[in-house]
């Protein structure tokens, strides 16, 4: 299956409310250097010629997206998100299926992961001739502790061969749709797209992310992400 036969679609689930962020606004709408986190994330894709469209899944109660400059970009399409990440992705896939081919590629990217480096994105795209796909990830460096119910250490886990999953996660449209639909029908909880494919017996590729690609989870993460975006802006402007 050749890359020239497949289009590339980007899905950004952005209907979360960010309960751990301690803010009156969803964390994807927090501003960094005059742009929201969501805008930074969308900009990582929207101006690439190879990107067919960026589909953003937002909550039906969202009062912020319509005011973003990128909301009017011809490549950006809004769809209604769902209760969970996987439901939001499924909503976007339903839209894509009306306009795409089954073997087209879908890249699912976190709305609050705005520091994606273009070299890592290009590394992921090297899987474009693969029948399944894969995701950006990094080997686990920290010692892992399993806690008991009262937050005492129950055991220390081996970190050998363990990787921390990131995004984008890139899979064939038909395969991803089938995997998520099966997960929903069987009541399986999937926290990322790869786990849905793994449940079907597939083995997605892990692509090493060589540059920082943090996810905004807590308010304390803002300073680190702000510094990374500043460095990135300086590199591309020089």
pLDDT of 216 higher than 60: yes
Residue 158 falls within a domain, yes or no?
no
Whether residue 218 is contained in a domain is answered as: yes
pTM: 0.94
Question: Measured between alpha carbons, how far is 201 from 133 in angstroms, rounded to an integer?
Answer: 13
Average pLDDT of the residues in 144-150: 93
pLDDT in tens, 19-50: 555 567 899 999 999 999 999 999 999 999 99
Residue 50: inside a domain: yes
pLDDT of residue 234: 63
What pLDDT, on the 0 to 100 scale, is given for residue 219? 87
**231 located within any domain:** yes
Domain-embedded: residue 14: yes
The total number of structural domains in the chain stands at 1
**Within a domain: 150:** no
Task: Using alpha carbons, select from 105, 123, 90 the residue that is nearest to residue 209.
Answer: 123
Q: Which residues contact 92 (CB under 8 A, 6 or more apart)?
A: 11, 13, 55, 56, 57, 79
CA distance 218 to 39: 18
At residue 90, the 3 state secondary structure works out as helix
By three-state DSSP, how is residue 57 classified? strand
Task: Tell me, yes or no, whether 65 lies in a domain.
Answer: yes
Tens-place pLDDT, residues 82-128: 999 999 999 999 999 999 999 999 999 999 999 999 999 999 999 99
Q: Is residue 154 in a domain?
A: no
Closest by Cα among 6, 3, 1 to 52: 6
Report residue 1's pLDDT band, with 50, 70 and 90 as the boundaries: very low
**Average pLDDT over all residues of the chain:** 93
pLDDT digits (tens, 9 = 90+) for 157-213: 999 999 999 999 999 999 999 999 999 999 998 999 999 999 999 999 999 999 999
Q: Is the pLDDT of residue 237 over 50?
A: no
Helix axes 85-97, 173-185, angle to 10 degrees: 140
Task: Quote the domain boundaries for residue 61.
Answer: 3-133+165-237
Residue 87 sits in a domain whose CATH number is 3.90.550.10
Q: With H, G, I as helix, E, B as strand and everything else as coil, classify residue 92.
A: helix
What is residue 173's predicted lDDT score, i.e. its pLDDT? Answer: 98
Q: Which residues, 6+ apart, have CB-to-CB distance to 80 below 8 Å?
A: 15, 57, 58, 59, 60, 91
pLDDT, average across residues 122-135:
97
pLDDT at position 93: 98
- Is 116 in a helix, a strand, or coil? coil
């Amino acid at each position: 299956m050749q890359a020239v036969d497949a289009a590339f679609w980007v899905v950004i689930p952005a209907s979360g409310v960010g309960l751990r962020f301690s803010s009156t606004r969803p964390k994807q709408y927090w501003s960094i250097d005059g742009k929201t986190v969501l805008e930074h994330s969308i900009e990582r894709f929207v101006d690439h010629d190879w990107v067919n469209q960026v589909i953003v899944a937002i909550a039906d109660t969202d009062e912020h997206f319509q005011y973003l400059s990128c909301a009017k970009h011809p490549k950006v399409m809004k769809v209604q998100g769902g209760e969970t990440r996987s439901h939001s992705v499924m909503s976007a896939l339903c839209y894509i299926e009306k306009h795409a081919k089954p073997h087209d590629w879908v890249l699912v990217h976190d709305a609050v992961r705005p520091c994606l480096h273009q070299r890592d994105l290009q590394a992921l795209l090297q899987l474009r001739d693969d029948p399944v796909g894969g995701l950006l990830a990094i080997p686990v460096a920290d010692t892992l502790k399993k806690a008991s119910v009262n937050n005492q250490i129950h055991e220390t886990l081996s970190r050998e061969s363990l990787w921390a999953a990131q995004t984008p996660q890139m899979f064939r449209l038909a395969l991803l749709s089938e995997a998520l639909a099966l997960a929903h029908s069987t009541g399986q909880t999937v926290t990322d797209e790869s786990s849905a494919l793994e449940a079907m017996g597939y083995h997605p590729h892990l692509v090493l992310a060589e540059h920082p690609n943090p996810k905004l989870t807590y308010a304390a993460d803002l300073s680190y992400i702000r510094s990374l975006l500043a460095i990135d802006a300086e590199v591309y402007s020089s």
